[in-house]
Structures are given as structure tokens and as C-alpha cells.
Amino acid sequence: MDGTLITLPSEIIAVRAINNDRVVLALVQGSTAREYSLYNLETNTTEPIAIPGYPTIVQPALNNSGDVVGTAAKSLDVSDDMRGFIFNRNTQAVTWVLPTLPSQPPASTAFLELKDINDLGHTIGVQGWVLGFDQLEVPVFYDGANLSAVANPAFMSNGIRITNDDKLWVWFFGRGGPEVEAIYDATTDTLTPFSNGRIVDLNANGQILLEHEFNYYLQSGGFITAVSDLFPSGSGWSPDFAIQMNDSGAIVGWGELHTNAGSSAGHGFLLSPPPLRIPRGKRDDIIAIILWGVINCGPGVAIIGGHSVRIPPHGPLNELMAALPEALRNELTPVIKDAHFREPADVRDFRRRVTSVISSYSRRTFGRS
């Protein structure tokens, strides 16, 4: 497939990110030093990111409004006042996010780093203290007004990625291990350890791009599919690295493209996955999810096969239950009220309990199952 290649100006020596408005966050070689700037591909204009008094910017990130988040310091030394900043592209104003540690050892140095920003202006990062070879860190979430710690401090930790629905990818490493990756939901204040491998990226639709034993997978709607299986059959691709994913589930990465002549070459790819096929054994589980949403008077959305499926509003709970014999209705009511779907096993448990109640009622009433 032939694409369009744009060569950026020679003074741009590295690119950190690009947003939906085709604004690039770039490292630019100036007349005296390197500095980060915003480069607009539509207008071919460069906008320097100036942080007065703080010439060192570390690992900045960009949102779709053109706002930049990162870490600013007077040097790369952590003791040189390392703090988080948010740079507003429209106003050129800088908002500082400073460490708010409840306690730290005497003579230790506090720091705060910001790593990512979403389109709401909310950010994720890590704060902590350093004293010689000792340190303590904790991921942090900043909602534009308040800074809050995610879980408890560990020897080393990090806040890596934030989605537009305030899901945060965090990492912890305690003294002696093990390493733990988790997803923090800021809207519900819940931290869920991730046990399926190493998180590579996540998006606002609940999809997770992950790596396990050097293979890459997409976790979507309770199913896990190898990224290699998402490529069209016979395409000749063998993907080696999946790097990032957007909210539509499109994946960018790098791999080998093999030709019919037997040659191969390394190429970057942009993969827009097809609808995932639902395994036959999972269909009853999905029906149970939708039925549960209907009888509990949705509306709602379930991610099924990598796509959003709306659960109808105003479910006919009263009509359905009123049509049942009283004895059966009395047995089903607590099963429905207690239902929750946090894990795939919860769906199977709900289906099993409903089936058991109906079978038991049939045996008692009609002498059959």
C-alpha cells in the first residue's frame, strides 16, 4: 500500500507525538540549544514551548487541544526542582503541579513527574522522594484542581497513560518485587491488578493492547486475540512489535512483510482490526449480558467483538416478571438483583443460576427439566 510521506524541517531532530489536528510535538535544534516545540503540519509553523527558568523538559506528552504536559527542571538532576507542568497552547500559560508528600525523610529531595494528559486536561504521573540510593514513589492523578495518590507508595512506581475516560495505567515495584501493573479507574476509585501480561497501551473503550512472552494481543470485550490473527489472511505480515492504540482500536507497530518471491522487509503498520469473531461457547454469555441490561432498564454499552453494542433503554422488567408465575418470579428476583458482571465468570454464574432456578421450577411444577 502506498502512503504519503512528509519530510519535516531539518531542524526537527525527533518527534514525540502527533494529535488529531496534525500538530506534532517535536524536539527542535535551536541556535543555542535543543527545545521542544509544536509544529503545525497544516500551516508549517513552529510554536516554541517556553518554560521560564526551567530549561530542561523531560518526556512531554500532547493532547488533542495542543496542550502539553511534562516534567520541568533546571537540570536533569532530580535535586534540581523537578516538577510537573501543563502548558496551555492557546494562552501560553503554565500550570505547575508540585509534589504533595504527607511525609519524607530529612534531607531527601521531593519530585513530581507528569507523563500523559487527556482531552479533559487531566494528567497522570508519579511523585516521590530520593535520598542517596533510597527512594519511595507513588503514581498520581491530577484532575485540573486536585492531586491524588493512586494506591500506596512503593520503592519504584510509575503512572504511564491516561485515557479520555480517566482510566490510568500504573506500575509498582516493591523492594524484593514482584512488579505489578494495574488499571486505576479515577471515576470509581478502583485499582485492578493486570495479570494477563505486560500492558502496552489501553484506550477509552476498555480495550487493552498487551504483550506476553514476546507476543502481542488485543484484549477486548472479555476476549483476548493475537494481534497477528487480526491481519488479513495471506497478507504476508508477521508483526514483531505493537506500539500504540487509539480509541477506535487501530494499532500501530512494526513488523516483517513477506513477499511471494520469498523476500521480506521491515515496515511500520497501521492495523484497523476487523470485528472479532465471537467463539461459539461465548455467545450465551453475551446474550446474558444484554438480557441483564434489558431487564435492568439500561441504557448501556457493552464492548462485544471489539465494537460497542448498545443495550436498549427502558427494559421491560416489570412486564417480564409480571408475566411469570408468582413462585418462579419470587425465585428469580433475588438472582437478578444480585447480578453483576465484573469478570467473564460473573456472566457464566448468572446464566447458571437462572438456568438452575428455571429447571428446578419446571421439575417441581411439570415433573420435567
How far apart, in whole angstroms, are the C-alpha atoms of residue 300 and residue 6?
Answer: 42
Q: Cβ distance 148 to 138 under 8 Å?
A: no
Residue 90 amino acid letter: N
pLDDT band at 193 (very low <50, low <70, confident <90, very high): very high
Residue 300 has pLDDT above 60, yes or no: no
Q: Are strands 94-97 and 109-117 parallel, antiparallel or unpaired?
A: unpaired
Residue-level pLDDT at 312: 47
Residue-level pLDDT at 301: 47
The stretch 104-126 carries a mean pLDDT of 95
User: What's the burial of 21, exposed, middle or buried (CB within 10 Å: 0-12/13-18/19+)?
Assistant: exposed
pLDDT band at 234 (very low <50, low <70, confident <90, very high): confident
Residue 290 has pLDDT above 80, yes or no: no
Task: Provide the grid cell at 158.
Answer: 510509575
User: What's the burial of 87, exposed, middle or buried (CB within 10 Å: 0-12/13-18/19+)?
Assistant: buried
Residue 255 has pLDDT above 90, yes or no: no
Whether a cis peptide bond, with omega within 30° of 0, leads into 178 is: yes
Residue 110 has pLDDT above 90, yes or no: yes
Residue 1 has pLDDT above 50, yes or no: no
Beta carbons within 8 Å of 77's beta carbon, 6+ residues apart? none
* 144 vs 321: which has the higher pLDDT: 144
* 181 vs 340: which has the higher pLDDT: 181
Residue-level pLDDT at 337: 72
Residue 83 amino acid letter: R
pLDDT band at 317 (very low <50, low <70, confident <90, very high): low
Residue 304 has pLDDT above 80, yes or no: no
Q: Cβ distance 157 to 201 under 8 Å?
A: no
The stretch 16-37 carries a mean pLDDT of 84
Q: Which of 119-133, 147-161, 208-222, 258-272 has the lowest mean pLDDT?
A: 258-272
Quick count: other Cβ atoms within 10 Å of Cβ 179?
12
Residue-level pLDDT at 310: 46
**Angle at the Cα of 196 from the Cα atoms of 190 and 200, rounded to 5 degrees:** 85
* 267 vs 245: which has the higher pLDDT: 245
pLDDT band at 162 (very low <50, low <70, confident <90, very high): very high
pLDDT, mean over the chain: 81
Residue 280 has pLDDT above 60, yes or no: no
| DSSP one-letter code for 333 | H
Residue 214 has pLDDT above 70, yes or no: yes
Q: Are strands 237-245 and 223-226 parallel, antiparallel or unpaired?
A: unpaired
**Angle at the Cα of 188 from the Cα atoms of 185 and 192, rounded to 5 degrees:** 45
Residue 176 has pLDDT above 90, yes or no: no
Which residue has 507497530 as its cell numbers? 253
Q: Which of 225-234, 278-287, 331-340, 352-361 has the lowest mean pLDDT?
A: 278-287
Beta carbons within 8 Å of 13's beta carbon, 6+ residues apart? 27, 28, 29, 34
How far apart, in whole angstroms, are the C-alpha atoms of residue 142 and residue 67?
Answer: 15
Distances, alpha carbon 24 to alpha carbons 16, 55, 65, 125, 229, in Å: 8, 20, 12, 22, 32
Can you give the C-alpha Rg of the chain in angstroms?
Answer: 25
pLDDT band at 144 (very low <50, low <70, confident <90, very high): very high
Q: Which of 22-36, 239-253, 278-292 has the lowest mean pLDDT?
A: 278-292
Q: Cβ distance 128 to 140 under 8 Å?
A: no
Residue-level pLDDT at 323: 65
Residue-level pLDDT at 314: 41
User: How confident is the model over 41-62, as pLDDT tens digits?
Assistant: 889 999 999 888 898 999 899 9
- What is the reported pTM? 0.69
* Residue 230 DSSP SS3: helix
Residue-level pLDDT at 76: 84
Residue 121 amino acid letter: G
Distances, alpha carbon 147 to alpha carbons 63, 100, 118, 119, 173, in Å: 19, 8, 15, 17, 22
Q: What is the DSSP code string of 265-331?
A: EEEEEEE-PPPPPPPGGGHHHHHHHHHHHHHTT--EEEEETTEEEEEPSS--HHHHHHTS-HHHHHH
Beta carbons within 8 Å of 97's beta carbon, 6+ residues apart? 83, 84, 85, 86, 112, 114, 123, 125, 142, 147
Q: Which of 230-239, 254-263, 285-294 has the lowest mean pLDDT?
A: 285-294
Residue-level pLDDT at 172: 95
Q: Cβ distance 21 to 45 under 8 Å?
A: no
Residue 247 has pLDDT above 70, yes or no: yes
Residue-level pLDDT at 309: 47
* 333 vs 25: which has the higher pLDDT: 25
Pick from 46-60, 157-171, 197-211, 352-366 the range whose average pLDDT is largest.
Answer: 157-171
Answer positive or negative: Cα dihedral of 61, 146, 182, 156: positive
Whether a cis peptide bond, with omega within 30° of 0, leads into 299 is: yes
* 130 vs 284: which has the higher pLDDT: 130
